[in-house]
Amino acid sequence: MSRMRERLLRHRASREEALERESAECDKAEASARLDETEETEETVCTVHNVQHADAEASETEPLPLLWEGLDVRLIHTSNGPFLRREARYPMSYRHGLHSLSELGAAVKGLAAFRAIGQFERSRDIRQEQFNAAVRVPLDAGKVLFLDLETTGLGVGTGNVPFMVGIAYAEGEAFVVEQMLIRHPAEERAMLTYLCDKLPSFTHLVTYNGRTFDWPVLLNRLILNGFRKFQWEPVHIDLLHPSRSIWRNTLVSCRLSHVEEERLGITRNDDVPGALAPAIYFQFLADQQPGPLLGVFRHNETDMLSLACLAIRFGHLLSGQLEAYVPQQPQSEELLRTGLWLEKMGAVELAEPLLAQLAEDEQAEPGCLFLLADRDKKCGNWPRAVLLWQKVVQAAERSHWPDWRAHIELSMYYEHRTKQLQSALLLAESALSFAQKRMAGLRLDAKRRQELEGIRKRVDRLRHKIGRLSG
């Protein structure tokens, strides 16, 4: 043993001594709890459904050790060495939650609205035109690739390794989920070789948070493994962004597992949480027992299916045919957000009916109506904006915890557009009394004080104007 090692071990020894002294009692419980969880995954039994897993055909490869039996993986050889691949083929009639995979064919028409680079025109007419142009280009469902990585860490640093890459696509009458696994990091190059071969036949890439995570991580790996010249520039559809646009206030979280449960009718049984995947993989590296990896495979496979269903959901929305498949969500907040998102995507004509429906909804929350009025104000739809503000003002008068923003908007409208100064003053005055009531007893920070001061000035100005006119 070298001197270097002796020194390292001395340091480790003194560190361990210190730790022992400090905490004889703690930490152990947590560590053992974690072990239990990983053991549990080993017991998860494959539930049988009408899915074909590719057989581990012995003909083209040498057989894997028996340990791997039951994981449905087989060895793939590339010019850069071997790695493992697992394949599941779902019939298109397969139903995952509310949607069936067969809807993909219809939904891709809408997905075509996502363009390569999304700079949207300010003008509504041009936006609609662009949208029309985009969805006219036929998109083949077989050109869309779904991608999801399981990695050894968080973040997009160069040390974060995707040990499992899941891809999925429609192929004829089947929906194929391919999962690649590396048995140790030296197999990564082989896996990437295979992937680089596969990717260029697709034109669209669908991910969940892939813009900030999966795709940059994969690019890192390509650069690190000598594929710097690899070129593939698909239209990247990151479904996290529209999910956030629509559900940020209605769902407690926009994680895929939560969205699928709340909106796609998908429930998972015995799912291994994604956060445990790295620990399971590290355990496998240490003991070479692949059993627990099955849980990670199944988790990733479900993620791929959910991703496809979420894409179907947004595709339907963009092609205006969602109602043909699922009943509409009744919440006004969601209606509003969906309308605004469609509008942002250029589907102005699809957005209008949703927004109109909201405007007429007697049960709609005032907050949503206010936001809709704001949108109407921006695009010059004054009549409806005024109508909505009035509704919100009425609601505020009835409320115990009134919001005065609509009062101010309406007051501004009367003062500057229709010159009805008296009405404007009345609204400003009641806004002031609401604000004073609500801020009574609260500490007035700079922002609140400024807001209150603003209303007071408005009232003063209006009184002054009226005084001048009458006097």
Partner 1 sequence: MNRWTGKTSGLEEWLQLLKGQPEIMNNVTHWHTIPPREARSAAMPADIHPSLVEALAGRGVEKLFVHQAEAYRAVREGRNVVTVTPTASGKTLCYNLPVVQSLLENASGRALYLFPTKALAQDQVAELQELAAAMDVDLKTNTYDGDTPPTVRQVIRNAGHIVVTNPDMLHSAILPHHTKWVKLFENIKYIVIDELHSYRGVFGSHVANVIRRLKRICRFYGSNPQFICASATIDNPREHAERLIGEEVALIDNNGAPMGEKHFICYNPPVVNKQLGIRRSSVLETRRLAASLLRQGVQTIVFARSRVRVELLLTYLQELVKDELGTKTIRGYRGGYLPKLRREIERGLRSGEIRGVVSTNALELGIDIGQLQACVMNGYPGTIASTWQQSGRAGRRQGTSVTFLVASSNPLDQYMIQNPDFFFNRPPERALIHPDNLLILIDHVKCAAYELPFERGEKFGDEPLEDMLEFLAEEKVLHHAGDRWFWMEQSFPAHGISLRSAAQENFIIIDRTEGSRVLGEVDRFSAPTLIHEEAIYIHEGVQYQVEKLDFPEKKAYVREVDVDYFTDANLAVELKVLHVDKELESGELLRQYGELTVNAKATIFKKIRLGSHENIGSGPIHLPEEELHTSGYWFSFSEEAASRKSTNDMQQALLGLANVLVHIAPLYLMCDPQDIRVVPQVKAVHTKLPTIYFYDRYPGGIGLSQRLFDVHDKLLLQAKSLIRGCSCLSGCPACVGPIEEVGLLGKSLALDLIEQVEIVS
Interface contacts to partner 1, rule CB under 8 A: 2, 4-5, 7-8, 10-11, 14-15, 18, 22, 152-159, 161, 184-186, 219-220, 223-224, 228, 278-279, 282, 285-286
We find the least distance from the C-beta atom of residue 184 to partner 1, in angstroms, to be 4
List all residues 6 or more positions away from 438 whose beta carbon is below 8 Å from its beta carbon: 401, 402
CA–CA distance, 179 with 55 (Å, rounded to integer): 14
We find the least distance from the C-beta atom of residue 140 to partner 1, in angstroms, to be 32
Closer of 183 and 405 to partner 1 (Cβ): 183
Other residues' Cβ atoms within 10 Å of the Cβ of residue 123: 10
- Which residue from 237, 53, 52, 255 is spatially nearest to 145, judged by alpha carbons? 237
Closer of 283 and 300 to partner 1 (Cβ): 283
Closer of 77 and 95 to partner 1 (Cβ): 77
We find the least distance from the C-beta atom of residue 433 to partner 1, in angstroms, to be 36
> How many Å is the Cα radius of gyration of the chain?
29
CA–CA distance, 367 with 389 (Å, rounded to integer): 10
Closer of 186 and 356 to partner 1 (Cβ): 186
Residue 456 burial class via C-beta count within 10 angstroms: exposed 0-12, middle 13-18, buried 19 and up: middle
We find the least distance from the C-beta atom of residue 33 to partner 1, in angstroms, to be 17
Distances (CA, A) of 75 to 31, 55, 81, 159: 34, 11, 10, 25
We find the least distance from the C-beta atom of residue 299 to partner 1, in angstroms, to be 17
Closer of 184 and 419 to partner 1 (Cβ): 184
Contacts for 370-375 with beta carbons within 8 Å, 24 or more apart? 370/403, 370/405, 370/406, 370/409, 371/336, 371/340, 372/336, 373/406, 373/409, 374/409, 375/340, 375/343
Other residues' Cβ atoms within 10 Å of the Cβ of residue 161: 18
Closer of 18 and 58 to partner 1 (Cβ): 18
CB 123 within 8 A of CB 348: no
We find the least distance from the C-beta atom of residue 19 to partner 1, in angstroms, to be 10
We find the least distance from the C-beta atom of residue 217 to partner 1, in angstroms, to be 10
Closer of 219 and 251 to partner 1 (Cβ): 219
